[in-house]
């Protein structure tokens, strides 16, 4: 068994509303071999991975999967369960998976993930386990699990980041991971806020740098009359001894630039200890400071937006004797607590037995391998940092107001909106400055403070620091920008442009993706087919965007899933036959399933816009949980009438666009006032207008603003490029349109036929990835409506041979009419030039284009030359 292709979906996708990975695997001859006939396979697998016993599988009972395993199930299905079980084994809560046959030995294996690298490595291990069990070769399972565990620990969110992101998601704000590091963005567009652990998007970087310099921090605090330990920088041994003599023992040595208590040596009582400590410290750190040692308890005060939100008493790690175990054994017992992990992965950190621990135990007259007397308590370190094994007790409710005010002054001195202030005092409930007496000091101020001690203290009340940070980032009004997602078969681009245009007229900065590019307001930041995941992300991460208006095409959904979490409004313009046979989408039911994802990924209080006249769109209504807005050209449409009382409906009545909302009737405007409908003659653009109006109503846009938007949007190449763009070349009417499927051709050609009183010439063609019968049907439709046909082909053949699509279209032309006048000119530019040469004044030419720019250049060239045309 081997992996042949991997797809990572970073958002909702066609398989699940959760993040998934899809593997294409080759079973290498085992597609028809059940587990029950592979010798010892099932026993060995369950013994290796007992987590499989909890899987219920299709029979929905405890142990259901193992039961199927022994009865006989197939390798792709087994692989899916192994991947999930491996993730579960290391504490990652995932459960979704499925296996799908592609053909023969080729299968899809789809599974949920939270951490991408970790999940991919779990997939590799699952494949290796299956192959090892089949071939009866050993696998270094324990070592691979250790590797898997290491990858997980490197990739997973730290507790500080997790608390912030968790609260953001709780209140409906999306979270996007940025790059491979610890950066995340909360919210989209103008409401996006970037964090790095507990550093916020507005945290003062100068303040962060100052806080890293313990000496400068002390100087600034001292200027503000905030009590700090006396001390100075040490330049050499003579300077060290003189400073100690001046300060008076006991003293503290620490790095000038450091964190997590690393290198801090406390309670140095005499010159001998001082010289020894300095000689050890100078080997690791260049810049060292000496301070007066203050006896007292170690408190951490968490400041958010210059307010005290949490206080913890930090206690150094210790063990209590039982008269049986050595100190080392007691440490091992302490470390066996599941609450303790390596680094910051758990609520507490395991205690590493290093020279500092050994030396401190010896200072207390004990040794590591000595049995500790019953009830005898011995501390293992002098510092109380959680990162070195300390514990925390919540003291938020007892800190006195005087100490709160001092902490606020301290945070403001460094201009740090998020920080941790370390205070040494005997009792945080009593002022550290009391009537001129100093009862405590601020030891240091930490930017990017660890939040573990407050989130999950060993004793006392847990504090939701993430909530305070998110509220600060949003000035106590955490909201996201609106997201509108538009999908369907025909009309997506025009509907997207109409929505964006109207919102821009209202003064909003819109970020729009479409088949023509990415636009921030009217400025293109990319040109091309930008209807997929990465294009949408470009808008969602753009800090200028007030509203995201995203054209969301079938291909992007299938390949990468959705770039956003949930939309405020989704629009499904229609679902018609197109792209069948591509990307595994072979039937209309398959296509509906893909398109319905856009309707499913909508907020509970959001809206999904549905074309009431479109049969296939209405087949997915049961999949949509959000509120619905129905639109229809026909005011008497059955679905419209059925839903008028409890849904918003938008329709045409006596050539007027009407909206029914909460049983109130609103007239938006007359069709004659909407330029892109050509006074109501372009039915397909009436549908696009109705879809856009519906979406704007879903965004709660005022009806007068909607009218202003749709009546000012022009049918030209500036505002609606490539969609029924009309050009006049010295009396010849040339229309450029991006129709590329059966319904698109019917809509455009029937509309032109209503406008045209003379001859109608057509330059026709479709992309090469359409089915043969679609190409033939395009020929038939063209033969029905056009007086003269020129068949061309796209430059990009999409897997076809040159001339192949043209031959199929020609077949359709002939099938409809043997007498139809036509010719084949494969080049699009040459085909248009030939059509112009054939046409007379008053005639119409329709070009279903692939590349519009070269055609516009040809048209402009004819206009400039002012060539005399046939009368």
Mean pLDDT of 643-663: 94
Q: How confident is the model at residue 628 (pLDDT cuts 50, 70, 90)?
A: very high
Name the residue among 173, 189, 194 with its Cα closest to residue 545. Answer: 189
Within a 10 A sphere around the Cβ of 857, how many other Cβ atoms? 10
pLDDT at 823: 95
DSSP letter string, 620-686 = TGGG--SEEEEEES-TT-HHHHHHTTTSEEEEEETTEEEEEETTEEEEEEEGGG-GGGTTTT-HHHH
Question: What strands, in cross-sheet order, belong to the sheet with 391-394?
Answer: 391-394, 307-315, 297-304, 418-425, 440-446
Rounded distance, CA 113 to CA 16, Å?
11
Mean pLDDT of 249-258: 90
Q: Tell me whether strands 760-764 and 788-791 are parallel, antiparallel or unpaired.
A: parallel
Q: What percentage of the chain carries pLDDT values higher than 70? A: 98
Asked if pLDDT for residue 24 goes beyond 80, the answer is: yes
pLDDT at 865: 57
What pTM did the predictor assign?
Answer: 0.86
Structure tokens at 425: 């005092």
Element (H, E) at 562: none
Pick from 265-279, 378-392, 638-652: least confident: 378-392
Burial zone of 816 (CB within 10 Å; 0-12 exposed, 13-18 middle, 19+ buried)? middle
pLDDT at 58: 66
Element (H, E) at 50: none
List C-alpha distances in Å: 218 to 165, 229, 282.
33, 8, 21
- In Å, the largest CA–CA distance within the chain is 115
DSSP SS3 for 332: helix
CA geometry: angle at 522 spanning 517 and 524, to 5°? 35
Give residue-wise pLDDT tens across range 545-594.
Answer: 999 999 999 888 999 999 999 999 999 999 988 777 777 788 989 999 99
Name the residue among 273, 238, 223 with its Cα closest to residue 253. Answer: 273
Name the residue among 296, 325, 232, 513 with its Cα closest to residue 424. Answer: 296
pLDDT at 621: 95
DSSP SS3 for 188: coil
Mean pLDDT of 642-668: 94
Give residue-wise pLDDT tens across range 467-511.
Answer: 999 999 999 999 999 999 999 999 999 999 999 999 999 999 999
End-to-end CA distance of the chain: 71
Name the residue among 173, 103, 124, 134 with its Cα closest to residue 23. Answer: 124
Rounded distance, CA 483 to CA 188, Å?
9
Rounded distance, CA 362 to CA 37, Å?
63
Could you tell me if residue 352 is left (phi over 0), alpha (psi between -120 and 50 degrees) or otherwise beta?
beta
CA geometry: angle at 733 spanning 728 and 739, to 5°? 115
Q: How confident is the model at residue 381 (pLDDT cuts 50, 70, 90)?
A: confident
Between 56 and 129, whose confidence is greater? 129
Name the residue among 636, 868, 638, 841 with its Cα closest to residue 759. Answer: 841
Residues 6+ apart with CB under 8 A from 421: 300, 301, 303, 407, 410, 411, 442, 444, 445, 446
Rounded to 10°, the helix 401-414/205-212 angle is 110
Rounded distance, CA 721 to CA 698, Å?
26
Pair 571, 484: CB distance under 8 Å? yes
Structure tokens at 178: 């940025």
Describe the chain by its helix, strand, coil percentages, rounded to 5: 40, 25, 35
pLDDT at 866: 47
Give residue-wise pLDDT tens across range 180-215.
Answer: 888 999 999 999 999 999 999 999 999 999 999 999
Residues 6+ apart with CB under 8 A from 396: 308, 309, 310, 311, 312, 454, 460, 461, 463
Asked if pLDDT for residue 56 goes beyond 80, the answer is: yes
Element (H, E) at 690: helix 683-698
Name the residue among 610, 620, 671 with its Cα closest to residue 643. Answer: 610
Residues 6+ apart with CB under 8 A from 517: 524, 525, 526, 527, 528, 530
Hey, what domains does the chain have and what are their CATH numbers? 2-155 (no CATH), 230-292 (3.30.1490.20), 483-711 (3.40.1190.10), 725-865 (3.90.190.20)
According to DSSP, residue 199 is labeled B
């Amino acid at each position: 068994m081997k992996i042949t292709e991997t797809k990572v979906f970073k958002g909702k996708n066609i398989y699940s509303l959760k993040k998934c990975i899809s593997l294409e695997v080759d079973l290498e001859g085992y597609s028809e071999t059940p587990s029950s006939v592979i010798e010892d396979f099932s026993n060995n697998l369950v013994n290796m991975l007992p987590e499989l016993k909890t899987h219920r599988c299709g029979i929905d009972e405890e142990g259901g999967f193992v039961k199927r395993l022994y009865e006989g199930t197939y390798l792709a299905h087994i692989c899916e369960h192994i991947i999930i079980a491996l993730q579960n084994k290391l504490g990652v809560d995932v459960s979704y998976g499925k296996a799908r046959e592609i053909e023969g030995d080729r299968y899809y294996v789809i599974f949920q993930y939270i951490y991408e690298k970790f999940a991919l490595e779990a997939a590799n291990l699952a494949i290796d386990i299956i192959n090892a069990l089949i071939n009866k070769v050993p696998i270094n399972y324990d070592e691979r699990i250790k590797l898997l565990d290491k990858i997980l620990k490197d990739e997973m969110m730290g507790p500080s980041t997790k608390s912030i992101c968790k609260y953001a998601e709780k209140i409906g704000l999306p979270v996007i991971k940025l790059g491979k590091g610890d950066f995340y963005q909360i919210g989209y567009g103008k409401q996006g806020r970037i964090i790095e652990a507990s550093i916020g998007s507005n945290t003062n970087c100068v303040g962060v740098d100052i806080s890293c310099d313990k000496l400068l921090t002390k100087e600034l605090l001292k200027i503000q009359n905030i009590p700090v330990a006396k001390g100075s920088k040490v330049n050499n041994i003579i300077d060290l001894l003189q400073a100690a003599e001046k300060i008076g023992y006991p003293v503290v040595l620490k790095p000038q630039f450091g964190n997590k208590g690393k290198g801090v040596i406390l309670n140095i009582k005499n010159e001998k200890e001082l010289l020894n400590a300095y000689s050890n410290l100078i080997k690791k750190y260049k810049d060292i400071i000496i301070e007066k040692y203050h006896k007292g308890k170690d408190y951490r005060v968490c400041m958010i937006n210059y307010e005290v939100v949490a206080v913890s008493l930090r206690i150094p790690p210790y063990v209590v004797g039982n008269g049986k175990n050595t100190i080392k054994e007691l440490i091992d017992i302490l470390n066996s607590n599941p609450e303790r992990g390596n680094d910051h992965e758990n609520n507490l950190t395991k205690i590493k037995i290093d020279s500092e621990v050994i030396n401190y135990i010896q200072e207390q007259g004990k040794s590591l391998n000595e049995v500790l007397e019953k009830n005898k308590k011995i501390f293992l370190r002098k510092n109380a940092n959680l990162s070195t094994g300390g514990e925390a007790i919540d003291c938020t409710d007892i800190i006195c107001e005087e100490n709160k005010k001092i902490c606020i002054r301290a945070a403001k001195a460094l201009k740090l909106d998020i920080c941790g202030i370390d205070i040494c005092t005997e009792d945080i409930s009593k002022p550290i400055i009391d009537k001129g007496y100093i009862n405590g000091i601020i030891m240091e101020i930490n930017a990017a403070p660890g939040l573990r001690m407050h989130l999950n203290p060993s004793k006392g009340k847990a504090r939701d620091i993430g909530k305070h940070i998110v509220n600060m980032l949003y000035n106590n009004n955490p909201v996201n920008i609106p997201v509108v997602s538009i999908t369907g078969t025909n009309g997506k681009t025009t509907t997207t442009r109409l929505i964006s245009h109207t919102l821009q007229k209202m003064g909003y900065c819109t970020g729009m993706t479409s088949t023509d590019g990415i636009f921030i307001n009217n400025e293109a930041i990319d040109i091309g087919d930008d209807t997929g995941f990465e294009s949408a992300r470009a808008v969602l991460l753009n800090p200028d965007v007030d509203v995201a208006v995203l054209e969301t095409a079938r291909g992007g959904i299938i390949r990468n899933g959705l770039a956003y979490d949930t939309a405020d409004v989704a629009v499904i313009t229609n679902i018609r036959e197109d792209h069948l046979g591509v990307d595994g989408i072979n039937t209309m039911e398959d296509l509906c399933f893909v398109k319905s994802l856009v309707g499913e990924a909508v907020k509970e209080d959001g809206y999904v816009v549905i074309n009431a006249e479109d049969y296939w769109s209405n087949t997915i209504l049961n999949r949509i949980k959000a509120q619905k807005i129905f639109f229809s050209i026909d005011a008497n449409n059955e679905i419209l009438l059925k839903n008028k009382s409890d849904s918003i409906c938008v329709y045409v009545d006596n050539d007027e666009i009407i909206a029914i909302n909460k049983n109130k009737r609103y007239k938006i405007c007359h069709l004659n006032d909407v330029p892109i409908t050509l006074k109501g003659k372009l039915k397909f653009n009436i549908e696009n207008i109705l879809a856009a109006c519906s979406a704007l109503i879903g965004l709660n846009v005022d009806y007068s603003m909607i009218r202003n938007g749709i009546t000012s949007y022009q049918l030209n190449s500036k505002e609606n490029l490539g969609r029924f763009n009309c050009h006049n070349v010295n009396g010849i009417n040339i229309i450029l349109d991006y129709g590329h499927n059966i319904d698109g051709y019917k809509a455009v050609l029937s509309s032109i036929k209503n406008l045209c009183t003379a001859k109608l010439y057509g330059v026709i063609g479709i992309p090469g990835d359409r089915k043969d019968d679609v190409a033939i049907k395009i020929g038939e439709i063209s033969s029905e409506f056009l007086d003269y046909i020129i068949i061309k082909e796209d430059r990009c053949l999409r897997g076809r041979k040159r001339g192949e699509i043209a031959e199929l279209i020609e077949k359709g032309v002939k099938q409809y009419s043997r007498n139809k006048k036509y010719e084949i000119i494969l080049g699009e530019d040459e085909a248009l030039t030939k059509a112009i040469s054939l046409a007379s004044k008053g005639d119409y030419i329709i070009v279903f284009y692939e590349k519009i720019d070269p055609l516009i250049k040809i048209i402009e060239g004819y206009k400039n030359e002012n060539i005399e045309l046939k009368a």
